[in-house]
Amino acid sequence: MKINSLGPYLFTIGNLSKLSVLSISFNELTGPIPASICNLVNLDYICLHENKLSGSIPFTIENLSKLSELFISLNELTGSIPSTIGNLSNVRKLFFFGNELGGKIPIEMSMLTALKNLQLADNNFVGHLPQNICIGGTLKNFTAGNNNFIGPIPVSLKNCSSLIRVRLQRNQLTGDITDAFGVLPNLDHIELSDNNFYGQLSPNWGKFRSLTSLMISNNNLSGVIPPELAGATKLQRLHLSSNHLTGNIPHDLCNLPLFDLSLDNNNLTGNVPKEIASMQKLQILKLGSNKLSGLIPKQLGNLLNLLNMSLSQNNFQGNIPSELGKLKFLRSLDLGGNSLRGTIPSMFGELKSLETLNLSHNNLSGDLSSFDDMTSLTSIDISYNQFEGPLPNILAFHNAKIEALRNDKGLCGNVSGLEPCSTSSGKSHNHMRKKVMIVILPLTLGILILGLFAFGVSYHLCQTSTNKEDQATSIQTPNIFAIWSFDGKMVFENIIEATEDFDDKHLIGVGGQGCVYKAVLPTGQVVAVKKLHSVPNGEMLNLKAFTCEIQALTEIRHRNIVKLYGFCSHSQFSFLVCEFLENGCVEKTLKDDGQARAFDWYKRVNVVKDVANALFYMHHECSPRIVHRDISSKNVLLDSEYVAHVSDFGTAKFLNPDSSNWTSFVGTFGYAAPELAYTMEVNEKCDVYSFGVLALEILIGKHPGDVISSLLGSSPSTLVASTLDHMALMDKLDQRLPHPTKPIGKEVASIAKIAMACLTESPRSRPTMEQVANELMIPVAANDVAFSIHAVLLTAITLFQIAIYERGSQKVSKVSIGIVSVAWLVAAVCFFIALPNNSWLWLLSVFNTIQVVMTTIKYIPQAVMNFLRKSTDGFSIGNILLDFSGGIANYGQMVVQSTDQDSWVNFYGNIGKVLLSLQGK
């Protein structure tokens, strides 16, 4: 039964002197609280919650000295809290919320040292909050929202470690909130929204290990969102809307178990982190009214529990990701006020729960057919786009006003302000479109295939005939934009998104010409992006280096030279897109003790050989020849297998054979050749010197400055002696590795000897990179040895058989003897020509040429004779088939090997070896 008034019971209640519990909540009691209740001095618990009591709180409440809990919330009480409340020394819970109480909180309330729960919300209180409200150190719950409090947060709350919930929203509180709270280990919920707090969001919030809700919206906070906030690992609700926050959305926030993230109406910049896909519990995402840019991440489609998402009033570009169609439970989506383009994804029709959609103020186009099945949609705004065609026959468009449809390209439908649609013309138009597509599509595919074929042929021809100066000029054209890759999918937006507008978190290196960033593309491919430095009043200098690097890397392809995937040259910024090499530069590897130990002698020897091969290719196989001019440990990069790649061609120079090559000094001190101090002439010997420094640095483990100084001051005889002093060499090797033993020790000593020769002060006395590569030549492959043994042994056996067996009508040809004699004579002369200069690679090419010529002389006459006589009499068909199969197999092996090495330097000579092996049969 419900009691309507306390009046009839006043006398009875006043006589209950031993009453300890009074609970008459959830009734419809009216009138004031009887003053006689305050005579019940044994009362421990009073609950008059949710009635219609009026009047003020009795001043004689001080008589209830044993009272521990007082609930008079959700009534119609007026007046102020009496100061005598301070005499309730045992009170633990005071619930005053949901009344019409006013005035200031009495200062005596700070005397309640046992207080654990104080509820003041939803009244008309004014003045300051009680500053010593947690003086007893037991306060757990404190709510004072929806009042008119002013001033700062109570000082006693800063270190009130017992606090669990604090709600002070919708007041007029002020003050710097940066350090208003210490680290409160038990705090679970805090709401400070709709006040006038200022300052910054403290990183200490990340130390609140029990915090699940942090709400400070609609204040005057500034600064960035601290990444340390991710340390609050239980945080589920984060409201920071309507402040003045700047900077990026920290990636680390995506590791939190948030279901509500509201950061709208701030000044946040950058991209939405892709890692947001990991926030699988997220239901509310509000990022609207900021300065976010880039593409809308397709990863948002993985937030399958999302109910409400707002990305409006930003600068998002590109298409609407079709992946958003996977958000089956989404009810509200706001993408208005951006720079989105393209059509509505067909997957939008899968948003069966969507009720409200705003796409206004974008550059979207196409028809609205994707909305046909969205029957739950009740509110739509597609104004200020480029949409056309009829409105879908669903409720949202039936109820739409012209304001939600205005300023589109060509919409039609039964809405005041739009043109009505012609159904017949629409059907005939669609029918005609299908006919046109049936005719055009096959023709288009045919033309496209022919075009691709023609492009491939013309591209191949252009690669060998295009004038290099014209290429360089075209690269320097202002506002040019070019980007390409082998799979054809690399685009400018991918680079900007992957590096987050070249954020420092992706920075992996800084050089003289630019900064290098690591970028992970949507396809999963990892690339290195070298962004040119922006130098005031010096753009042309950087652009010249940038252009030079593009020209060099587009002209050359080699296994040991970094691959260029694409470039962008623009008045605002320029960058190169190259292959990413996992182990970084040699300099970094040598400086790190752990990496240096992993960089063992076998790897170091191979790296030196790799660099030598690259320089040999540039100096002797490119036309015109290319001088790098900045060979150093920072410009040699290592992949995951420790294969070396020469990089940074910004200072490279194409040597003109018809004129002198003079230029200003470039390079790295400590690696540059000494003659560059007094001459501006550039030739290959400058790279040879730098190679020598690099080789010694790899062996010694640090820059060999002291060794070089002693070498430059040595006489030639001393230099030779030092190269032969093996014990001295071993003393200078990198002490972080065990001393090399045979066979690798022999190669280490050989490299040291070659490096010292490269460091000769006189450029003319230094070896060429052809000689260096010859000295460091990789041992003959097993298949080469096999073919050599095969040819010599079988030929020798055949000659022996000719000598002991009956030859029949066969005679020794004088022409053959003459040809063989000339071949041996040429080989001998070339050998003695190569001997003084150690030109073994040149001699190898001569021998390969002799092999090809000899085989051609043998087989071509026989083949011609067979055609003339229309017979193959005298040939063993079985032997021919075996020869052909073996040759094709070896040819395939050579093609694969040359493709892997990105160099065909040994390919043509190996063909000679195959033919010679056939000759042996």
Query: Across the strands, what pairs with 71?
Result: 47, 95
Q: What is the pLDDT of residues 454-479, one digit of tens each?
A: 444 344 444 433 433 333 333 333 33
Amino acid 176: pLDDT: 95
Category of 79 on φ-ψ map: left (φ > 0), alpha (ψ -120 to 50) or beta: left
Is residue 231 a contact partner of residue 206, using CB atoms and an 8 Å limit? yes
Q: What is the pLDDT of residues 112-161, one digit of tens each?
A: 999 999 999 999 999 999 999 998 999 999 999 999 999 999 999 999 99
- In the block, tokens 């739409």 appear at 400
Sign of the C-alpha dihedral, residues 267, 268, 271, 274?
negative
The total of other beta-carbon atoms located within 10 Å of residue 117's CB is 18
Superfamily of domain 1-173: Ribonuclease Inhibitor (3.80.10.10)
Q: What is the pLDDT of residues 175-210, one digit of tens each?
A: 999 999 999 999 999 999 999 999 999 999 999 999
Amino acid 470: pLDDT: 37
Average pLDDT of the segment spanning 160-169 = 95
Buried b (16+ CB within 10 A) or exposed e, 491-519: beebbbbbbbebeeebeebebebbbbbbb
The total of other beta-carbon atoms located within 10 Å of residue 860's CB is 10
**Over 70: is that where the pLDDT of 652 sits?**
yes
Q: What is the pLDDT of residues 272-313, one digit of tens each?
A: 998 988 999 999 999 999 999 999 999 999 999 999 999 999
The ranges assigned to domains in the chain are 1-173, 489-580, 585-713+724-804
**Over 80: is that where the pLDDT of 19 sits?**
yes
Is 630 assigned a catalytic role?
yes
- State residue 617 phi and psi, 5-degree precision: -60, -45
| Strand duo 363-366 + 339-342: pairing | parallel
Best-predicted range by mean pLDDT among 108-112, 234-238, 598-602? Answer: 234-238
Residue at 644: amino acid letter: A
The total of other beta-carbon atoms located within 10 Å of residue 226's CB is 19
Is residue 577 a contact partner of residue 564, using CB atoms and an 8 Å limit? yes
The answer to which of 40-49, 125-134, 300-309, 423-432 has the lowest mean pLDDT is 423-432
How far is the C-alpha of 777 from the C-alpha of 605, rounded, in Å? 11
- In the block, tokens 């042309």 appear at 540
Q: Which residue has the higher pLDDT, 229 or 752?
A: 229
- State residue 336 phi and psi, 5-degree precision: -70, 155
How far is the C-alpha of 672 from the C-alpha of 666, rounded, in Å? 8
Amino acid 286: pLDDT: 95
How far is the C-alpha of 32 from the C-alpha of 50, rounded, in Å? 14
Amino acid 741: pLDDT: 80
**Over 50: is that where the pLDDT of 780 sits?**
no
Average pLDDT of the segment spanning 705-724 = 54
Q: Which two tokens stand for residue 527?
A: 């690339």
- In the block, tokens 């449809």 appear at 405
Average pLDDT of the segment spanning 16-38 = 89
Q: Which residue has the higher pLDDT, 715 or 593?
A: 593
Sign of the C-alpha dihedral, residues 720, 725, 730, 731?
negative
**Over 60: is that where the pLDDT of 403 sits?**
yes
How far is the C-alpha of 400 from the C-alpha of 353, rounded, in Å? 19
Is residue 821 a contact partner of residue 884, using CB atoms and an 8 Å limit? no
Is residue 99 a contact partner of residue 75, using CB atoms and an 8 Å limit? yes
Q: What is the pLDDT of residues 89-101, one digit of tens each?
A: 999 999 999 999 9
Amino acid 1: pLDDT: 41
Compute the chain's Rg from CA coordinates: 42
How far is the C-alpha of 595 from the C-alpha of 183, rounded, in Å? 40
Catalytic residue among 122, 194, 630, 883: 630
Query: Residues of the chain with pLDDT > 90: what percent?
Result: 40
How far is the C-alpha of 80 from the C-alpha of 69, rounded, in Å? 19
Q: Which helix (H) or strand (E) holds 293?
A: strand 291-295
Q: Rounded to a whole number, what is the distance in angstroms from the first to the last CA of the chain?
A: 118
**Over 80: is that where the pLDDT of 4 sits?**
no
Is residue 362 a contact partner of residue 385, using CB atoms and an 8 Å limit? yes
How far is the C-alpha of 192 from the C-alpha of 240, rounded, in Å? 10
CATH code at 489-580: 3.30.200.20
Omega before 624 within 30 of 0, i.e. cis? yes
**Over 50: is that where the pLDDT of 483 sits?**
no
Q: Which two tokens stand for residue 700?
A: 């010694």
Residues 6+ apart with CB under 8 A from 525: none
**Quick one: how many helices (H) and strands (E) in the chain?**
20, 41
SS3 35: helix
Name the pLDDT band for 383 (thresholds 50, 70, 90): very high
How far is the C-alpha of 245 from the C-alpha of 224, rounded, in Å? 6
Q: What is the pLDDT of residues 860-882, one digit of tens each?
A: 666 666 666 565 555 555 555 55
Amino acid 653: pLDDT: 75
Residue at 848: amino acid letter: N
pTM value is 0.50
How far is the C-alpha of 143 from the C-alpha of 97, rounded, in Å? 9
Which residue from 217, 279, 221, 273 is spatially nearest to 250, judged by alpha carbons?
Answer: 273
Amino acid 918: pLDDT: 42
Amino acid 420: pLDDT: 86
Query: What is the CB-side half-sphere exposure of residue 302 using CA atoms within 13 A?
Result: 10
**Over 50: is that where the pLDDT of 643 sits?**
yes
Mean pLDDT of the chain, nearest integer: 79
**Over 50: is that where the pLDDT of 211 sits?**
yes
DSSP letter at 204? G
3 state SS for 680-699: CECCHHHHHHHHHHHHHHHH
Is residue 903 a contact partner of residue 558, using CB atoms and an 8 Å limit? yes
Best-predicted range by mean pLDDT among 75-79, 650-654, 730-734? Answer: 75-79
- CB-based contacts of 194-197 (< 8 A; 24+ apart in sequence): 194/169, 194/170, 194/218, 194/219, 195/168, 195/169, 195/170, 195/171, 195/219, 196/172, 196/220, 197/173, 197/221
Q: Which helix (H) or strand (E) holds 411?
A: strand 410-412
Amino acid 260: pLDDT: 94
How far is the C-alpha of 107 from the C-alpha of 84, rounded, in Å? 10
DSSP H helices, 163-310, are none
| 3-state helix vs strand vs coil in the chain, percent to 5 | 40, 15, 40
Which residue from 316, 309, 360 is spatially nearest to 338, judged by alpha carbons?
Answer: 316
Q: Which two tokens stand for residue 549?
A: 């690097």
Name the pLDDT band for 546 (thresholds 50, 70, 90): low
Amino acid 491: pLDDT: 60
Sign of the C-alpha dihedral, residues 896, 902, 908, 913?
negative
The answer to which of 269-283, 570-584, 634-648 has the lowest mean pLDDT is 570-584
**Over 70: is that where the pLDDT of 808 sits?**
no
Is residue 364 a contact partner of residue 385, using CB atoms and an 8 Å limit? yes
DSSP letter at 662? B
Query: Cα–Cα distances in Å, from 395 out to 308, 324, 356?
Result: 20, 22, 12
Best-predicted range by mean pLDDT among 255-264, 384-393, 736-745? Answer: 255-264
Amino acid 618: pLDDT: 86
- State residue 727 phi and psi, 5-degree precision: -65, -40
How far is the C-alpha of 250 from the C-alpha of 548, rounded, in Å? 38
Q: Which residue has the higher pLDDT, 549 or 32?
A: 32
Q: Tell me the fold of 585-713+724-804.
A: Transferase(Phosphotransferase); domain 1 (1.10.510)
**Over 80: is that where the pLDDT of 586 sits?**
yes
Q: Which residue has the higher pLDDT, 591 or 675?
A: 591
Amino acid 782: pLDDT: 45
Best-predicted range by mean pLDDT among 449-453, 856-860, 892-896? Answer: 856-860
- State residue 48 phi and psi, 5-degree precision: -115, 30
Amino acid 661: pLDDT: 45
